[in-house]
Amino acid sequence: MNRYEGQFESNDFPESIAPLEVEQKYRVESHEAVLKCLQAMKAIELPVETQCDIYLRHPCRDFATTGEAFRIRQVNDSAVVTYKGARLPGIVKTRVETEVALADKTDGEWLQILLALGFCEAARVRKRRRSFRISFRTETFTVALDTVESLGSFIEIEAIVTDRSSLSRIQKDILELAKQLQVDQVEPRSYLRQLLEQLQRNS
Amino acid sequence: MNRYEGQFESNDFPESIAPLEVEQKYRVESHEAVLKCLQAMKAIELPVETQCDIYLRHPCRDFATTGEAFRIRQVNDSAVVTYKGARLPGIVKTRVETEVALADKTDGEWLQILLALGFCEAARVRKRRRSFRISFRTETFTVALDTVESLGSFIEIEAIVTDRSSLSRIQKDILELAKQLQVDQVEPRSYLRQLLEQLQRNS
């Protein structure tokens, strides 16, 4: 019962120890060329996932301004909740990420609770994700080949970093790995941002 | 992926179908007399629980004014999150309750996420709860014998109601069951409220 003795305030959130997500997204015409590169580099394929991300608006904080994100991700029959902090400085998108698996079939109840607390849905991002694990230089990266409903095809190169002293090296590795995969059309916007901009244009 | 087709706004929260918690709390000197009554009435004892409730403040809503509550409850080695809505009219405390089990050992990550979202701890209520299930008239009730740290001994009589047409009957049953258990010192305040008032008096 004493796992968190002492009381936390919101500004005690231990940013400095939370894992960082370092990722770069690239727009591609198709996944074909990248797929050939990954196979040549002996990348290991992971199970394909159909993901539906329910992005939530905060009851009193504008995530578009703070750069944070909060979502429920449904993956096949399971679900996870993810909080992403504001973007940190660096040559590649880097932010605190806390992800927590939900107990079986509780995503509906969680959505109910979050709505009751004043969160509301911003949008749903639906995609098919084919992922590969690849060792490159001294690190392991995940390369995702995403086909996103209404948005098209993308590549994401990602690493989760717990040791902050290796951060700038890993950011450089990601850019170098992108070169090897022959992708160069950086897409700095999140899928959510792209989708909201598209909805706005079409309205 | 189509479990919640269409998008919800916070005011779409389906209050009318969420289960209601109907409960009355009584202050007692000791549990001894009630325990004898329960045994005479053939109540079924449930496993004893040691509970630690971490009550959270909302980032921009005053739960003390709205009457809502939001907490993480650690019970032995597991945890649940509970949202309770504002009190509804009636002779016994009645409110919407949505409770969701957390996946194994994820309460720490949930607390991190909620703190990052601007929630903060209001207080922790620690208690030992001995519970009994009892059939009374046409319903089943839970009677909890609580020993609450810093507050003392209490009895809670509770039912979870999904069919709202039986609500007023069940509220009356609870008062009648209290008579049978020979408890009469109603405590309208939650444990959280009592604890915060005590902290204020002592500061």
Please give the ipTM for the structure prediction.
0.88
d(CA B111, CA B54): 9
Residue of B96, B100, B109 lying closest to A109 (CB–CB): B100
User: What would the pLDDT profile of A107-132 be if each residue is shown by its tens digit?
Assistant: 999 999 999 999 999 999 999 999 99
d(CA B158, CA B99): 15
Residue carrying the six token digits 């995969």: A181
User: What would the pLDDT profile of B27-54 be if each residue is shown by its tens digit?
Assistant: 999 999 999 999 999 999 999 999 999 9
Task: Yes or no: say if B97 and B83 are a contact pair by the CB < 8 Å rule.
Answer: yes
B118 contacts in chain A (CB < 8 Å): 10, 58, 60-61
Residue of B12, B50, B101 lying closest to A106 (CB–CB): B101
Q: What is the model's pTM?
A: 0.88
Residue B178: its pLDDT value, please?
98
Q: Which of A15-24, A52-61, B137-146, B181-190 has the lowest mean pLDDT?
A: A15-24
Contact B9 A70 (CB under 8 A): no
Tell me the pLDDT band of B11, cut-offs 50, 70 and 90: very low
d(CA B191, CA B195): 6
Beta strand A78-84 with A69-75: parallel, antiparallel or unpaired? antiparallel
- Return the exposure string of B60-74: e unless at least 16 CB atoms fall within 10 Å of the residue's CB, then b: eeebeeeebbbbbbb
The reply to whether A196 touches chain B by the CB within 8 Å rule is no
Residue B7: its pLDDT value, please?
43
